[in-house]
Structures are given as C-alpha cells and as structure tokens.
Amino acid sequence: MEAALATAVGSACDLDLWLAPFLDVLGRKTRRTWAPFYVRGLLGPGERKSLQPMAMQLGLGGHDQLQHFIASPAWDDAPLWAVLAHAADRMVGGPDAVLVIDDTALPKKGTLAVGVARQYCGQLGKQANGQALVSLTLAGQDVPVAVGLRLFLPGEWIKDPDRCAAAGVPDAEIVSRSKGDIALAELDRLWAAGVRFGTVLAEAGYGASAAFRHGLDERGLR
C-alpha cells in the first residue's frame, strides 16, 4: 500500500513538473487553476470522460468550474504548441530523430461535430461516420512525443459555410486543404519552433501524393 501511494505521489509530481511551463503561458489565473484538474480527469481512471464523471473522480463538489474552463471563449493556443515543440525537441530532437505523419480517426455519431463526415476510419478499418485528424509525432531514441494534431475539414463542410458557422469554425479555416497540405504546414510550424529531425515518415496515403513528396523535396527532407 505504501509503495502504491509513493508511486501515485511521484506520478502526480511528475505531471505537475510537465504542466508547469504550459500553465505559465495560459494567461488567465482561472485557466491555470483548472487546466490541471481537466488534464488529470482525462488521464484518470474510468471510460467516461464527460465532465460530471470526471468531477466525481477528482473529488470535486460539482462540475461547474470544469464546464466554465471548457466553455470559455476561444483563446490563442499557439503558445501551448510552442512549449510542446520545445519540450519534444529537448527530449528526442536531433538529426537522427524522425517526424511521423499519420491520420487519426475519431468515430462519431451524429452530424454536428466539426468536420464529421462519412470517411475512412482507421480504428474501424472501413468507411464510417467520424472526424479525421492529421497527427505529427517526433520520435527518437525509441521515444515518441506527439507534437501536432489538426482537424481535416472535408469538402462537404467547405461547401457549406452556414454549417461551418453553426459549428463555430472560424472563417479563415473554411478553406479546402488536403491532408498533405495540413501536414506540410504543421511541419513548417515545427521547423520554425526549432524542432530538429532528419527524416519524415508517412503512411501510403501521403506517399501517393506527388504534391506532398515534392513539398518534402523542396524542404530538403528525406
């Protein structure tokens, strides 16, 4: 029992140390206060990650404060991505590191979630209703660190600005972009942040795109 408690305390301290630089750039004090609770709720036990079950797991008197944290007006997340990029490079970056580009699929029911459409879902191995995201992972020394995750907006959404507006999609994001375009833009963001890697790996769907391959060539990447 004492060993388990010591492990739990050590894990909590490790998480606090990891979160500290992210909290420093969050801005408002309320965000800095409630972000650790939300992260612990996501990482904690239990399959249900809606706010009420998470608040119960965390021992909170209610979920109102978590709700305010999630529902607060949109804020600039660029500083958080920058902190993550620097941390990842410090851990595994270098000329021998690789940047892994892949799709992440989230099965979804309904039609209201941003970008949801009938498209290929890797989790299910077939066409299904869901969201598709472009993910980037920096890997080195057998350690992978996620550094990017951007939503792909299907053509049926691009052609329906009213639907986009109802879902809260910013006007600047209602632009037709392939997954390869998104991946290259994220790659450039990481490069600008000083992330070091020598090779790019991607699944066949990206490799089949001449524009994506030429984009890597133009950047001098293998």
Give CA–CA dist 207/180, Å, rounded: 9
Give the long-range contacts of residues 108-113, CB within 8 A, separation 24 or more.
112/167, 113/167
* Average confidence (pLDDT) over 124-146: 92
Q: What is the pTM of this model?
A: 0.85
- From 37-41, 110-114, 122-126, 171-175, the region with the lowest mean pLDDT: 122-126
Task: Write out pLDDT tens, residues 88-104.
Answer: 999 999 999 999 999 99
Give CA–CA dist 9/14, Å, rounded: 9
